[in-house]
Amino acid sequence: MEALTDIVLRSLWVSGSATLLSSLWSLPLAYAMAVSRRLGLLAPIMEALVGVPTVVVGLVMYMLLSRTGPLGFLNLLYTPYAIIVGEAVLITPVIVSTAYRVIRRSVETYGELARTLGAGPLQAAALVLSQSAPGLAASVVMGFSRAIGELGVAFMVGGNIAGYTRTLTTAIALGVAMGEYELAMQLGLVLIALTLAVSLAVRASKRLWE
């Protein structure tokens, strides 16, 4: 199997990009749900979707990205970008539902404060989001942890190709499939250490911010 550092860096890159990409739509959606009563009705649905098995999301993404699927023309299947897109979709419910809870509380206070001072909708949104930054960081980290720890999407649309789309989790699964349990165990420990490190780093920066 290829060098561990390559796999680790690829996993960080893929899951990190997926998290950024997902945040691009998840945070605005969470904000829209927090300010609009009608969109707020999505909250229980999002919460329910958090529990969808990753392999189901992976299968759906595969059917979409397959050569014969509706998005086949993008030629994304079996590339790291397919995993990025798939994981971004996968972690949307996690980020949206946790961020929604944070923002809702913030909208009631800072949103109203902004309106008393004559803020427009965008200015109010900016104030609310900046005031809830630590909570939002935590929800983005939850998204990242789910992305880097998931197997279904990476396996189905990435293909676990050595040196190209092999991530920590698919390498672990391959290790198990090949009976190389020690290797799988080591990779598992690296994965835990990584998610722990990211979460601690965010906590530390949160303290700095407060």
Partner 1 sequence: MRRALLAALTVAAAAAALVALVAGWQQEHVIRVRATTTTSLYATGLLEFLEEEFKRVRPGVEIDFITVGSGEALRRAAQGDACLVFVHAPSLELAYIRAGVLERGAIFAYNYFVIVGPSDDPAGVRAAASAAEAFRRIYEAGEAGLARFVSRGDNSGTHVRELSIWRAAGLDPRGRPWYVERGAGMAETLVTASEMQAYTLSDIGTYLKLKREGRLHDLEVLYTNSSELINIYSVYLVSSCAGEEREVAEEFMEFVVERQDLIAGYGADEYGQPLFYPARERLDELKRLWWSLAEG
Partner 2 sequence: MMAMRLLALEDVWYSYDGKRWVLRSATLSVSGGEVVAVVGPNGAGKTTLLKIMGLLYRPQRGRVLVKGVDAWASRAAALRLRRSVVYVHERPIMVRGTVLDNVALGLRLRGLDGAEVRRRVSAVARALGIEGLLDRDARKLSAGQAQLVALARALAVEPDVLLLDEPFANLDEEGREVVADVIRGYSREGRAVVVVSHDRSVLARVATRWVRVRDGRVEAP
User: From partner 2, partner 1, none, which one binds at residue 179 (CB under 5 to 8 Å depending on kind)?
Assistant: partner 1
* Interaction partner, residue 109 (partner 2, partner 1, none; CB < 5-8 Å by kind): partner 2
Q: Which is nearer to partner 2, 16 or 134 (CB)?
A: 134
CA nearest 125: which of 91, 93, 99? 99
**Residue/partner pairs of 35-43 with CB below 8 Å, 24 or more apart:** 35/107, 35/111, 35/125, 40/104, 42/96, 43/97, 43/100
Binding site for partner 2 (CB under 8 A): 109-110, 112-120, 123, 127, 130-131, 209-210
Nearer to partner 2, 126 or 185 (CB): 126
Question: Where do contacts with partner 1 occur on this chain (CB under 8 A)?
Answer: 13, 16-17, 20, 66-69, 72, 77-78, 80-81, 159-165, 174, 176-181, 205, 208-209
Query: Quick one: 36 or 75, whose CB is closer to partner 2?
Result: 36
Which residue blocks in the chain are alpha helix, DSSP H? 4-35, 37-40, 43-49, 54-65, 80-106, 112-116, 121-131, 133-149, 152-153, 168-177, 181-209
Residue 45 or 200 with smaller CB distance to partner 1: 200
**Structure tokens of 181?**
């349990």
Interacting partner of 110 out of partner 1, partner 2, none (Cβ under 5 to 8 A depending on kind) = partner 2
Structure tokens at 27: 């945070």
